[in-house]
Structure 1
Amino acid sequence: MTTIQRPDTLHRILDYASRADPYPLYAELRRTPVARQEDGSYVVSTYRELADLLHNPHVSSDVRNLAHPMPSMDADATPAFINMDPPEHDRLRRMAMRHFGPPHTPGLVDGLDPFLTATVGGLIDDCAEKERIDVVDDLAYPFPVTVICRLLGVPREDEPKFRGWVNDVIDSIDYNPAVDPKEKLERGRQARRDLREFLGGLVAERHGRPTDDLLSRLANDDGPDGRMTDDEIVATANLLLIAGHETTVNLITNGMLTMLRYPEVLRRLRDEPELAVPLVEELLRYEPPVHIIPWRAAYSDITVADTVIPKGSQIMLMLASGSRDPDRFRDPDRFDPDRRDNQHLGFGSGIHLCFGGPLARREAQIALTELVRRLDHPSLVADPPPYRRSPVLRGPIHLDVEQNGG
């Protein structure tokens, strides 16, 4: 049975006017767990069906398996493994994870704690004399770039231009042809090309001259799966940078916004720093940085919730809706850092579970703990704050906070 859902619910979710609070619209979507849209795509919005599709081997992450492939900003580049299917995806992910986390480098993220704390502390120090700070511009935006430069091995003297390219790439993600000049899109494309060339140069320098950074480890490692090509290393670095940056910015910013709306939680975190771990997990459920996986492709005809999705169809996965599904989470619209059994979809699930998730979690835990510990009686300047245009990577573009009680 195929149910065609009225298109206005999805259109309203994608409309910028709904960016500050899409959750009532997600509740509307969930009335039809799998709904065919007028353009032939399918929207999936309930937890059980999303989890099934995220683990379904008949669902592809490769754009070439769509009946009507979409244009790519990086058509001339080697794709990152997030846009690949097994076995190539599995091989490249294993090779990346050897140097990014357990079991081969179990201490990588934890070993960054002193650097993360010092970096956040320095950014907060720079705001010490300000009565008003922008959590995005002053902390959440520069913090992940500084961390990724350290991880990849970007020379300190090159960090300013590296940050400039990152800014242009991230800015182009929100490109809206109705209101934005074409130059914004072209700056993003050029920045992607410049980033690839820059990273490729760093990789070439490291062949035969190993250092302790991630690019060097990938360039000089001959593990059981062989060695990545230089283009594959650059694609992996770009994935860690672009995907990891925006999600971490949104996670920190959404977290601070949520705690300012729940001041009793803010006070608890100030008094109980260990609350940071379950608090960030609840943030990933309640106000996740990634709301939508805009497309997957059906390898073959598949049936989900009595709906047949034909081969080649575009499937849109509404992750944030699934994490608020009352059939899976008790009282899902309540922010509860003490929530148990919190198997949210904040970083996806299945083979494409965010491989930078452990780092993003730790960055958010440390940033939020330091912010609530060191800001003096913070209060929101505007609620809701202005949001980025993207409904996919959802978060405030600015979050102005006054200190000293306003």
Structure 2
Amino acid sequence: MTNSTLLRQIIDYGSRADPYPLYAELRRTPVLQDGDDLFVVSTYWEIKSLLHDPRLSSDTRNLSPSASGTLLEEQEDSPLPPAFLRLDPPEHDRLRRMTMRPFGPPETPRRVHNMRGELARIVAGLVDGFAGRGQADIVDDFAYPFPVTVICRLLGVPRADEARFHSWADIIAAGLDPDPRGDPGERFRVTRQARTELGLYLNGLLDERAAAPGDDMLSALVTGDGPDGRMTRPEVLSTAALLLIAGHETTVNLITNGTLTLLRHPEVLDRLREDPGLAVPVVEELLRFEPPVQLLPQRTTLADIDIAGTTIPRGAGVWLVLASGNRDPRRFPDPDRFDPDRKDIQHLGFGSGIHTCFGAPLARLEAQLALTELATRLDGPRLVADPPPYRQNAVLRGPRHLEVAFDGLRRP
């Protein structure tokens, strides 16, 4: 199989249900070159090294036209500046610090911890809604509404507006998919329109918060001053859009992948039902075994980088296949086995380095509470279809629907 053929198979929708055998083949060449200026890195230590290497840029404005396709055009014509996730230091560091002030330590150290009781009430209420049904779609009925409700409350976005921003978020998230099918020009047009409409919507909310601040992150971002000063309005808009979309898209996958994995491993499900404390190692192993973000495309080199016997030249595009690194047998013994008792679990599920997932503490807590609630409340849960239908997106991989049948609900 040629390099190009292997890469096309990995991003092809037909491989979405189980890409891991293809990842194993990919790891035979830790740094695989596809064409003149795209390099795919698939092994744990090489991925981690690059995530900590300042010569690897996350700023898509540094991509060459041949490595980026229509992405450069999209960035140049975007109604919003790049969010900090797509920036390099020092811009990245400044914006991330400013965003962290109302979210976590050191300025707001207990924000996530203090949400635990509210999060538990939300998941309990969602499972209560299963009563008398005998079957539920874990995605539509549970894994999606839970983190959406949470991020809306955290940001100060009206939950009633979910139907509006849901379609925009879906379109923007789909723009991350490297699958080249379809008309690139139409995809660019639709994505840009969604960005514009989301930006206008958020701008209206920011006007309201500037006039009457509340106890939410939008208010803090638009009015807050600190050592780095105050964000510009375009910076606040980009940051708010990033938090709104990333704050639920990946967590939906984490909870859904987790439910699917537990139902495929009933012995672990039984243990979690008896011991809710097992939720912490279960979620960490899930982040290794079935990470919600499979790969990071759209990185580029600012200088020649020698790694694993290959020189990636300056200006080349780089893909980091996190899910493959998480199954690297050089790093994790018996990597294809789901084992919540695994002792050494420094996975790449949230990335690593300066771009480690900003919302990781909240996503961890949401997944722990959600999976524990399902394990303790559902009586006789079982999959209706295995494998379930998956989302198109090769980057944000997870089931589009996950139908689960059950015999009834246990009391909380």
**Common fold: TM-score over 0.5:** yes
Q: Distance in 2 between matches of 1:39 and 1:122?
A: 53
Residue by residue over 1:321-344, the C-alpha shift from the partner in whole angstroms, topping out at 9 and shown as x without a partner, is: 001101011111110111112100
Q: What are the equivalent positions in structure 2 for 1:73-222 lying under 5 Å apart? A: 75-170=78-173, 178=181, 188-207=191-210, 209-222=212-225
Q: Distance in 2 between matches of 1:343 and 1:277?
A: 14
SS in structure 2 of the partner of residue 207 of structure 1 = helix
Please tell me whether residue 317 in structure 1 is matched to residue 320 in structure 2. yes
Q: Distance in 2 between matches of 1:11 and 1:155?
A: 40
SS in structure 2 of the partner of residue 218 of structure 1 = helix
Amino acid at match of 1:71: T
Residue by residue over 1:169-196, the C-alpha shift from the partner in whole angstroms, topping out at 9 and shown as x without a partner, is: 4466669774699988755543332221
SS in structure 1 of the partner of residue 3 of structure 2 = coil
Judged with a 3 Å threshold, the aligned counterparts in structure 2 of structure 1 residues 137 and 39 are, in CA distance, closer, same or farther, namely: farther
2:253 to 250, 253, 267: 250
Please tell me whether residue 296 in structure 1 is matched to residue 299 in structure 2. yes
1:15 to 1, 12, 36: 12
Residues 58, 299 of structure 2: 8 Å contact kept: yes
Q: Distance in 1 between matches of 2:192 and 2:181?
A: 18
Residues 260, 380 of structure 1: 8 Å contact kept: yes
Residue by residue over 1:115-159, the C-alpha shift from the partner in whole angstroms, topping out at 9 and shown as x without a partner, is: 211211222122211111110111111211111110111235444
2:236 to 227, 233, 238: 233
> Which has the larger displacement, 29-38 or 283-292?
29-38
Instruction: Report percent identity of matched pairs.
Output: 60
Q: Distance in 2 between matches of 1:40 and 1:227?
A: 39
Please tell me whether residue 71 in structure 1 is matched to residue 74 in structure 2. no
Amino acid at match of 2:330: D
Judged with a 3 Å threshold, the aligned counterparts in structure 2 of structure 1 residues 183 and 34 are, in CA distance, closer, same or farther, namely: closer
SS in structure 2 of the partner of residue 95 of structure 1 = helix
1:58 to 45, 55, 60: 55
Please tell me whether residue 277 in structure 1 is matched to residue 280 in structure 2. yes
SS in structure 2 of the partner of residue 27 of structure 1 = helix
2:24 counterpart residue number: 27
Residues 391, 399 of structure 2: 8 Å contact kept: yes
Residues 12, 179 of structure 2: 8 Å contact kept: no
Residues 176, 395 of structure 2: 8 Å contact kept: no
Residue by residue over 1:241-300, the C-alpha shift from the partner in whole angstroms, topping out at 9 and shown as x without a partner, is: 212321101000000000000001001111111111111000000000001101210001
CA-atom RMSD in angstroms: 2.2
Judged with a 3 Å threshold, the aligned counterparts in structure 2 of structure 1 residues 63 and 174 are, in CA distance, closer, same or farther, namely: closer
Judged with a 3 Å threshold, the aligned counterparts in structure 2 of structure 1 residues 49 and 184 are, in CA distance, closer, same or farther, namely: closer
Q: Distance in 2 between matches of 1:168 and 1:88?
A: 26
Residues 262, 269 of structure 2: 8 Å contact kept: yes
Judged with a 3 Å threshold, the aligned counterparts in structure 2 of structure 1 residues 155 and 110 are, in CA distance, closer, same or farther, namely: same
Please tell me whether residue 38 in structure 1 is matched to residue 41 in structure 2. no
Q: Distance in 1 between matches of 2:277 and 2:95?
A: 35
Residue by residue over 1:69-118, the C-alpha shift from the partner in whole angstroms, topping out at 9 and shown as x without a partner, is: 44345623111001000000000001111111112111111111122112
SS in structure 1 of the partner of residue 89 of structure 2 = coil
Amino acid at match of 1:347: F
Residues 286, 324 of structure 1: 8 Å contact kept: yes
Amino acid at match of 1:329: F
Q: Give ranges in structure 2 of 5+ residues lacking alignment.
A: none
Q: Distance in 2 between matches of 1:186 and 1:175?
A: 16
Please tell me whether residue 265 in structure 1 is matched to residue 268 in structure 2. yes
> Which has the larger displacement, 307-316 or 72-81?
72-81
Please tell me whether residue 6 in structure 1 is matched to residue 9 in structure 2. no
Residues 101, 107 of structure 2: 8 Å contact kept: yes
Q: Give ranges in structure 1 of 5+ residues lacking alignment.
A: none
Q: Distance in 2 between matches of 1:170 and 1:91?
A: 25
Residues 61, 296 of structure 1: 8 Å contact kept: yes
> Which has the larger displacement, 214-223 or 344-353?
214-223
Q: Distance in 1 between matches of 2:121 and 2:212?
A: 29
Judged with a 3 Å threshold, the aligned counterparts in structure 2 of structure 1 residues 176 and 152 are, in CA distance, closer, same or farther, namely: same
Q: How many residues align?
A: 402
SS in structure 2 of the partner of residue 7 of structure 1 = helix
Amino acid at match of 1:288: P
Q: Distance in 1 between matches of 2:284 and 2:162?
A: 31
Please tell me whether residue 375 in structure 1 is matched to residue 378 in structure 2. yes
